[in-house]
Structure 1
Amino acid sequence: MLGLLGSTLDRGTAGPRRWEHWRPSVALCQHEDLVVSRFELLFAEPHASLAATVRDDIRHVSPETEVRLHVDATTDPWDFESVYAHLHDFARAYPFDPEAEDYLVHITTGSHVAQICLFLLTESRHIPGCLVQTSPPRRTRAIEPGGYQVIDLDLSKYDRIATRFAKDELDERTMLTSGIGTRNAAFEGLVTMLDRVATRSAAPMLLLGPTGAGKSRMARRVYDLKKARRLVRGPFVEVNCATIRGDAAMSALFGHVRGAFTGALRDRPGLLRSANEGVLFLDEIAELGLDEQAMLLRALEEKRFLPLGGDREASSDFQLIGGTNRDLSQAVREGRFRDDLLARINLWTFRLPGLVDRREDIAPNLAYELEQFRQRTGTAVTFSTEARRLFLEFAEGPDAPWPGNFRDLNAVVTRLATLAPGGRITVDQVAAEIATLRALWRESWAGHTRDGLIDLVVPAGTAVTLDRFDRAQLEDVLTVCRSAPSLSAAGRVLFDRSRARKQSVNDADRLRKYLARFGLDWHELKASV
C-alpha cells in the first residue's frame, strides 16, 4: 500500500478515544479480505508524531503489516508542480516489482492536489498498481473499518470504455479521410499513425507526395481533428510558398512595418502571427528562399521573429505542417534547403501515395466527388450501371497513370457530371472521356522534360526513395523508351556498347528487368505515350 498521511482524518482525537473514530489509514489494514503486507506512508515533517502513532496503531490491528514512514518534503500541499514533482521522484526511486507484488494507491487522504497527482502517476504507470478508495462505516462513532473500493485504471479491461475509444478512433480516422473509406492497407496504416500523432503532438509535421495527392486537404483535416479535440484554439492558415518570392514572401509570412518597402503603407501582421495558437500549412515548403527558411527556423524554435523592416520582435505559437513533392534531402545536398530546418521539421513525416498506388480507392473517391459536385451545384448526378463499370475498368487498370492524381479524378467527375443528360452519366460519355484522358496524358508525356518523366510514370512511393544516381540513370532510360518503337529497339540503344562484348544478347530482357526494379512495365509505359 502507498498512501499519504491524513493530518485531520488520521488524527481522530487525542488519547485512547482515537479508537472510537474512523481513521482511513488504520482502517485500511483492518479488512480481513485485504491483507496489507507493507504500507509505505508519506507524511509532512510537522506531522511526524502523528505518523508514528498511526504506524503503531496499524501494527496493533495488523501485526503482519510492515509500516515504512517517508518524509514528504513538499512545503505547500496545494502547489501542484511541487507536489507532483516530489511524488514523481518517489515513484521513480521506488523499487517496484510487479511480477512479485501487487500495489494499491490510497487516495482517500491527503490534499485534493496530492490525490490528483497520485491518480496521474498511477494512470501513467509510473506506479504500477490500482487505486483504492476507503469510506467510513455508517455509524458515526464506530471502530469498524468501513468499506473500500479498488479501481483499476487499465481502461482496456472495461468493455464499454474500450468500445467507445475504438469508435472515437474510427471517427477520427474517418475525419482524416474526409469520410471516404479506404481499401488500401498502406494508406489505412498511414492514417492511423497520423491520427495518433495529430492528437498527441504539437511538433512540426511533413506531408510528402506527388502533386494532387491530397496534401492540402489532409493538412486541413489534421487541423479539424485537433480543433475537435480542443488541442488548438487558433485558425488554420494556408499559403502556397511557390506563389511568393523575395520581400513579398517575407512580408506575407512574417509581416512588415509601415515604410519597410515601396508600397508598404501600413503595418501587416503576417501569416505566422495570424496562425497563433493554430496551424500553419506551408504548401510547397521547398520553394521558400534560404532567408525565409532561416527566419522560419527561429520562429519554430523560439516562437519569435522580426517583421520586415521592424526593430521589435513579434511572437506566435503555432504548429507547422509542411507539404512538398520535392526530395528535401536532395534539396539540402544542392544547397537549396537548410539542413537545420529539415532536421527541425522532419520529426513526423508522412508520404501520401498517389492515385495509381491506391487504385482500389478510386470507387469510393468517385462517389465522394459526385457528392461534392452535388453540394457545389445543387444537382445530383449518378452513373448508369454500365457507365460506372466501364469507367472503373479503365480507371483501376494499368492504362490510367493518373499523373495529376486526385485533381485529375476531380476534373473527370466535374466534366462528366456537368454534361450528363438528365443527371445520368452514360456509356458514350465515359468512352469519350477515356479518349480525352488518353490524349491529354499522351500530350503531357510528350511535353515533359527529362526531369519530369520519373514523377509522371514512377509510383510516388518509389520515386521519393530514389538516389540521385538512380534518378539520373532512370530519366535517361525513360527518354529512350519514349521514342523507341519496341522494347528490343530501346534495349539496343541503351546497351549498344556492352552488347558487343556478349556472345548471346537479350537486350529486351535486360531492359525489362531494369524497369521492373522501379515497378514499371514496358507495355504500361508505352500505353501512356
Structure 2
Amino acid sequence: MDKPKKRVMIGILGSQLDAGRGAKRWEKWRPTVAMHQQNDVIIDRTEILHAASHQQIAALVREDIISSSPTTDVRLHEMQVKDPWDLGQVYAALFDFAQRYPFDTEREEYWIHITTGTHVAQICLFLLTEARYLPGVLLQTSPPRRQDGSSPGHYGLIDLDLSRYDQVAVRHQSELQEQRSQLKAGIPTRNTAFNRMVDELSLIAVRSSAPVLLMGPTGAGKSFLAQRLYELKKQRHQLSGAFVEVNCATLHGDGAASALFGHVRGAYTGAAQDRAGLLRSAHRGLLFLDEIGELGLDEQAMLLKAIEEKRFYPVGSDTEVQSDFQLIAGTNRNLAQDVRAGRFREDLLARIKLWTYTLPGLSERREDLAPNLDYLLEQFSAQQGQRIHMNKEARDIYLRFAASPAALWSGNFRDLSASVTRMATLANQGRIDTPLVQHEIQRLQRDWQALGAEPAALQTDSVLSKLFSEQQLADMDLFDQTQLETVVSVCLKSASLSEAGRTLFAASRARKAQSNDADRVRKYLMKFGLQFEQIRAAVQ
C-alpha cells in the first residue's frame, strides 16, 4: 500500500486578517491559523511568506499554529517586496520562491492558500499555480457566520489542471474547433499543411498581438485569412478598431508615406488639408499591409518605428502622433532575398517575421477544390438571393478538370472565384449544366494560354504523346485528353493498378462497403485501348 503524501500549505501572511494580540485574538477568525484548526485536515508543513516589516506578526502566527497543531512544521520566508501592490515586484518575488523551493510531488501535495495577502499577491499565486510553477491546488478559506472562536470557518480546493475536468476539456476543444472553423469561414478544407497552419493561427490570434507575416503567391488567400483573423480577434475583444487593408504595390513616391502615415496641410504641393493616414485609421484595430515588399526603404524605416513605438511623424509634421494597431503583412516575394539585395530592411523583417506562414497555392491544394467550389456557390447564391445549383455530371466534370495537370490555376483562388462567378451568372434558371461547364473549361484554358502557359494535356512533352500518335490526339476531345492525362499520371506514380485505383477513387471508395478500384481503372483505360503495364513500359 502506498504511503500517503504529506500535505504542505503555502501562503502569504495576512497583515490584517492574520494579525491579533492578546487572548481575544482567539475569538477572531485568522485564515492562516484557522486552517490548522480544521478537524478533518492534517497539515504536515506550512510555508508562510511575509514582508520584512511583518516579522513580529509572522512569529506570533507561527506560535499559534503550533499551539493549534503541534505536529505541523511551520517555516517563515521573508519576501523582498517594496510595494505589495506592484504586480511586477510581487510576481518576481513569488516566482523566485517557486524556483528555489524543493518541490517533491511524488511524496508531497501542495495547497496554495490564496485568501490572504493583497489582491495582487492572490492573482500572482493563481497565475503561478496555473502555470504549474507552484505544482498544487488552490486553497480558499472563508470565515464562520459567528466569529467567537467556536468554528474555524470553511475551506475549499480548486484544481487548475483543467485536463481533469472532462466537461471543461470538451468545451475547450469545442472552442478551439470553432476558432479554426471561423478562420476557414466554415470551409471543410482537407489539405493537411493548410489545416495545420490554421490550427496554429487560431491559437496565435487569441494569445499574441505580435505581427504576423503571410507569404505565398498572389491569390492564395492572404487577404481573406487576414480578414478572418481580424474578426476572430475582435470577437475575443482584443481589438475594437477597424480592419484597414492596403496593397503597398499601389503606393508610389511621396504619396506612399502620406497614405500610410498621413500629412499636415502644406507638407507638399497639393496637400491642401491634413490627412490622418492609414496607420491612424487602424488605431486599436488591425492593419493588413499586403505586398509589404513593395514599400520603399524610407517608408520601411518609418513603419518599423511605428510598430515598435506605436508613434510616428506624419509627413511635414514636427509633432508625433500615436496609433496602437496590430499588424499582418503579406507578400509574394522572398523578403530574405530582398534583404540581401538591399531592397528590404533587415531590422524590419526581423520585427515582422516572428509568426511567418506560407499559404500554398490552389495547385498545391487540389483536395480543397470541392469544398471551396461549394463555398463560392453558396456565397454567390446568398448575394444574388437565388439558389445556384450544379448538377452531378457537371460538377464531376468540372472537378476532374480542376484537379488535373491541365488546370494551371495561375491566379489561384482568384481564378476559381472568377470561374464560379461566370458559371453562376450564366446559369439558366440557376442550374449549371454540363455544356456550361465545358464552355468554362475552354475559357480557362484560353485565359491561361494567353498568359503564356499551356495546359499540361497539350504540351509536346505530354505523357499522352508517348502513347498516341499526333492524329489520335487530334481526334480526341480536349476533355478526354485532360481526364486521361490525370489517370495516366497517377498510374505512373503507382506501384500497382490497385494503388492507382485507391488514389483516383479515394472519396467514393470510403462510402462503399466493398470496392474494386483496380477494375474501375482497368475498364477506363480499356476505353482508350490502354493497359496499366503498357503505360509504364511506354514511358520507361
Q: Same fold (TM over 0.5)?
A: yes
Q: Does 1:63 align with 2:77?
A: no
**1:328 corresponds to which residue?**
335
CA drift of 1:332 comes to 1.7
- Secondary structure of 1:29's counterpart equals helix
Q: Does 1:29 align with 2:36?
A: yes
Letter in 2 for 1:5: L
CA drift of 1:319 comes to 1.6
User: Where in structure 2 are there 5+ consecutive unaligned residues?
Assistant: 1-8, 466-488, 494-540
Normalised by the length of structure 1, the TM-score is 0.81
Contact 2:187 2:375 in 1 (8 A): yes
Q: Does 1:4 align with 2:12?
A: yes
Which of 191, 212, 233 is the matching residue for 1:205? Answer: 212
Letter in 2 for 1:2: I
Partners of 2:148 and 2:318 in 1: how far apart? 72
**1:501 corresponds to which residue?**
none
Partners of 1:10 and 1:289 in 2: how far apart? 64
Which of 294, 299, 305 is the matching residue for 2:306? Answer: 299
- Secondary structure of 1:421's counterpart equals coil
Partners of 2:259 and 2:24 in 1: how far apart? 76
Q: Does 1:370 align with 2:367?
A: no
Q: Does 1:439 align with 2:455?
A: no
CA drift of 1:199 comes to 1.3
Partners of 2:19 and 2:453 in 1: how far apart? 89
**1:493 corresponds to which residue?**
none
Q: Does 1:42 align with 2:49?
A: yes
Letter in 2 for 1:6: G
Contact 2:211 2:327 in 1 (8 A): yes
CA drift of 1:331 comes to 1.5
Contact 1:21 1:143 in 2 (8 A): no
**1:285 corresponds to which residue?**
292
**1:502 corresponds to which residue?**
none
1:302-334 CA-partner distances (Å, limit 9, x unpaired):
222222222222222222211111111122222
Change (3 A) 1:265 1:337: same
- Secondary structure of 2:330's counterpart equals strand
- Secondary structure of 2:241's counterpart equals coil
- Equivalences for residues 184-263 of structure 1 within 5 A: 184-263=191-270
Which of 411, 414, 431 is the matching residue for 2:418? Answer: 411
**1:180 corresponds to which residue?**
187
Normalised by the length of structure 2, the TM-score is 0.79
Change (3 A) 1:396 1:134: same
Partners of 1:150 and 1:249 in 2: how far apart? 59
Partners of 1:349 and 1:341 in 2: how far apart? 13
Partners of 1:335 and 1:215 in 2: how far apart? 25
1:194-229 CA-partner distances (Å, limit 9, x unpaired):
111121111111101111110001111111111111
Q: Percent identity?
A: 59
CA drift of 1:242 comes to 0.7
- Secondary structure of 2:299's counterpart equals helix
CA drift of 1:7 comes to 3.1
Partners of 2:212 and 2:268 in 1: how far apart? 33
Contact 2:189 2:195 in 1 (8 A): yes
Change (3 A) 1:482 1:418: closer
Change (3 A) 1:190 1:485: closer
CA drift of 1:3 comes to 1.1
Partners of 2:14 and 2:250 in 1: how far apart? 65
1:332-362 CA-partner distances (Å, limit 9, x unpaired):
2222212221111111101111111111111
Partners of 1:88 and 1:260 in 2: how far apart? 52
1:481-518 CA-partner distances (Å, limit 9, x unpaired):
9986678x9xxxxxxxxxxxxxxxxxxxxxx9xxx9xx
User: Where in structure 1 are there 5+ consecutive unaligned residues?
Assistant: 448-455, 458-480, 490-511, 517-529
1:2-34 CA-partner distances (Å, limit 9, x unpaired):
11223343345x433433444321222234543
Contact 1:22 1:143 in 2 (8 A): no
**1:395 corresponds to which residue?**
402
Contact 2:27 2:147 in 1 (8 A): no
Partners of 2:264 and 2:374 in 1: how far apart? 48
Partners of 1:482 and 1:435 in 2: how far apart? 13
RMSD: 2.6
Letter in 2 for 1:265: A
